[in-house]
Amino acid sequence: MTNFSCIAKRITSFLMLFLSCSPFITAQVKSGTIVYPRGSFDADWISCPDVNLKSYGVFHMRKVFELTSRPKQFVVHVSGDQRYRLFANGTPVCFGPARGDLRNWNYETIDIAPYLKTGKNVLAVQLWNMGSGAPAAQLTYQTGFILQGNSNAEQMVNTNNSWRIIQNKGYFPEPFPPSRLASYIVGSCDSVVFKNYPFGWQNINYDDKSWLSPVSETKPRYYTEKRSLIPRSIPMMEEKIEPITGIVRILGTDTSAILNSFNKNGSITIPANTKATILFDRKTLTTAYPEITFSKGSNGKVKITYAESLFNSENLKGNRNEIKNKTIKGYYDVFLPDGGTAHTFRPLWTRTFRYIQFDITTGSEPMVIDKMQSVFTAYPFKEHAFFTSNDSTLHEIWDVSWRTARLCANETYMDCPYYEQLQYVGDTRIQALISLYVSGDDRLMRNAIEQFHQSQIPDGLTMDAYPAGGGKFIPPFSLFWIAMLHDFYWYRDDEKFIEKYLIPMEAILKWFEYRLDNNSGMLGKTGYWNFVDWSFSPKGIPSGGLEGNSSILSLQYVYALEQAAEIFAHAKQQQKADYYHNLGQKIKRAVYARCYDINNRLLADSPERKAFSQHANIWSIITDCIPFKDQEATMERIMNDSTLTATSLYYRFYYTKAMKKAGLGSLYLSSLRPWKQMLDLGFSTFPETLAPNVRSDCHAWSASPCYDFLATVCGIEPGTPGFATVRISPNLGNLKAVSGELPHPLGPIKVSYKKIKEGSYSAHIELPANLNGIFISKDQKVILTGGKQEITFKYE
């Protein structure tokens, strides 16, 4: 089978799954009927004439065509720059493209036959470019749209000068100054003047005679010259309608009249010549497209502000449930009604909010909000795992953790949905494991591994976040990319996927090897931003992170060397495996010799032995830099010595790994105090840090309990690479009853534990038919086979 055929077969199987994920996209493509172009299309990239194609602009396109009969299948490949939304006979059928870079520009493939009919049909497109206000993750060449029919029967709709196009003069960017939240914001929002809006543009009977003929981009001499098109490898995003409810404050007008109207029929009437402020609290954070249908209100104005939480007079957030004496502060959309009937405002890109505030100003005509709803959107992860125990707080932590992970996953993993929306390697490593454990869906993880590889520069480093413009590097994050490969190697049996990354992985190892300090034997000065954790100042950089000889960075390199050696050995490249293993051992000895403080019995952050952190000692345990006999005592110091620089929520993931490695996994549940504190503060998602005025209220690196409740408490982990066997070793703490389930490629793994008496538990374990493994508790080992088994074990 050719590589091209393999690609087609693989993408067809993806399409069969993802085209049914969204209620707005239901058409499925039959296997074996699709030809997947790669590189360039025969159709033209088209755009609007006489406009700056690098600047902000919103455009509409139409193609009217006739069919003599309704087709059983009508497949099109479609993409846009920067974003598009495709309609068939007035129905939204596709949104994209999935984010990538110019060398890997995604296109979607969809069967639109269910939306077509005999006679006249229309394809309509909303296309936009955010210009200088685009998010950092949104790369671009210039404004353009392309659509190609799959076979001769569908070529009639190929993009060329037979299409019609117009710029929507009602749209303007609504910039948000980062200074207002003292932080980087994802990009511009929308300002819409509805008197300039071409209503009905997507419908079949709209008159587009006054529209323009599009211009076509010059065909590239080589298909990589502008955008290299590749088939989308991830499913379409989930879209689910949610009502906007929960009015908690009304200012400036008759409160009772608005509440009565809203509660009775969901509509709100704002009288003429009025200023009204209406604040909604939906109780939990969401990522969604608000859809506001309104009538009348000519010469009025509506401002919609979105926020994760409110601020008090001291500019602090405090308890997220409290609104008294607090105000909203955040990015916002603005629209100006035109006096028409049943018009709808929907932002171009998703918004993140728990609180949403409407500031409405009316002129001589009252305004009616006929309907308010939002369309939730995120990567279509399904919750196939569960965790329960006799401690109800843990169930609450599970729910909030999973909500956090879901809202931080869209077309890529994201650090946070409100602010940057960037796929960072350090964050993504944790997010991917959560995805595997809770949903079993590895497609976004595969996509992330590949995209970080696409960011790799010639000397070896990957960018810290990708897709993204510019070139920003956090060298330790390149090492975490190797950790992601190692995770995939352990959890999925796909040697060919791993094989393509062996050379890129070695390039990273060599980049660091060239920067070893010959005098100390540790990692020397590397340059760039050596971020480890926000616990360190300045900018998350530990002692030695700027000038070199950081024990933390050196041992993280050792961690990557050991993981890479294991992958090389599995790939039958034993010479490389031995080389990198031996290099890791050499660096460990150097770190121990120069940084271990005998008096403190701790590893210092650098050879000066002036700074000590939990982080350095966590890595000393994980990498066996210190002898195994000393690891339990070191971990106890990590947990109890308040003089050490403490880990943030992010690094608690590695804190737990060290705890388990030192044989103290039973104490994991006692380490959850920060998450319980966040629940007490009204968080509906877990934040970036525990700082008093934390920036992001939703940051998926803090959702690690979703992973650890199953991997640590229930104790379910791969026993051998590819999850070919399972190893179950629970850490139950003081719990009396625990149940858990996670998806495995062969079927669900189910466990339940019940305390019989002090120090004794029963376990009920059910494995897929073809999965074997081992159960370990203290000195007890029991062989596991497919099916159900009961075990009584000692646990202290």
pLDDT in tens, 499-529: 999 999 999 999 999 999 999 999 999 999 9
Please state the rounded mean pLDDT for residues 788-796: 91
Tens digit of each residue's pLDDT (9 = 90 or more) over 695-737: 899 999 999 999 999 999 999 999 999 999 999 999 999 999 9
Residue 499 corresponds to which tokens in the numbers above?
């094989």
Q: What is the pLDDT of residue 272?
A: 94
Which of 32-46, 252-266, 760-774 comes out lowest in average pLDDT?
Answer: 32-46
Q: What is the pLDDT of residue 229?
A: 92
pLDDT greater than 50 at residue 319: yes
Tens digit of each residue's pLDDT (9 = 90 or more) over 48-74: 999 999 999 999 999 999 999 999 999
The 10 Å Cβ neighbour count of residue 496 is 7
CB 551 within 8 A of CB 606: yes
pLDDT greater than 60 at residue 84: yes
CA distances from 241 to 286, 368, 373, 624, 779 (A): 12, 21, 7, 51, 52
pLDDT greater than 60 at residue 146: yes
pLDDT greater than 50 at residue 26: no
Rounded percentage of the chain residues whose pLDDT exceeds 70: 94
Which of 6-10, 439-443, 533-537, 617-621 comes out lowest in average pLDDT?
Answer: 6-10
pLDDT greater than 70 at residue 10: no
User: What number of helices (H) and strands (E) belong to the chain?
Assistant: 15, 33
Strands ordered across the beta sheet of 725-728: 716-718, 725-728, 772-777, 780-784
Q: What is the pLDDT of residue 54?
A: 96
pLDDT bracket for residue 4 (50, 70, 90): very low
pLDDT greater than 80 at residue 476: yes
CB 775 within 8 A of CB 791: yes
CB 173 within 8 A of CB 56: yes
pLDDT greater than 70 at residue 19: no
Q: What is the pLDDT of residue 5?
A: 33
Tens digit of each residue's pLDDT (9 = 90 or more) over 173-198: 998 877 778 777 788 899 999 999 99
CB 365 within 8 A of CB 339: yes
pLDDT greater than 50 at residue 580: yes
Tens digit of each residue's pLDDT (9 = 90 or more) over 655-699: 999 999 999 999 999 999 999 999 999 999 999 998 877 789 999
Write down the pTM of the prediction: 0.94
Domains, the chain, with CATH or none: 3-168+196-235 (2.60.120.260), 239-378 (2.60.120.260), 515-641 (1.50.10.10)
Strands ordered across the beta sheet of 737-744: 386-389, 737-744, 747-757, 760-767, 787-794
Please state the rounded mean pLDDT for residues 219-234: 80
**Mean per-residue pLDDT of the chain:** 93
Q: What is the pLDDT of residue 8?
A: 35
pLDDT bracket for residue 28 (50, 70, 90): very low
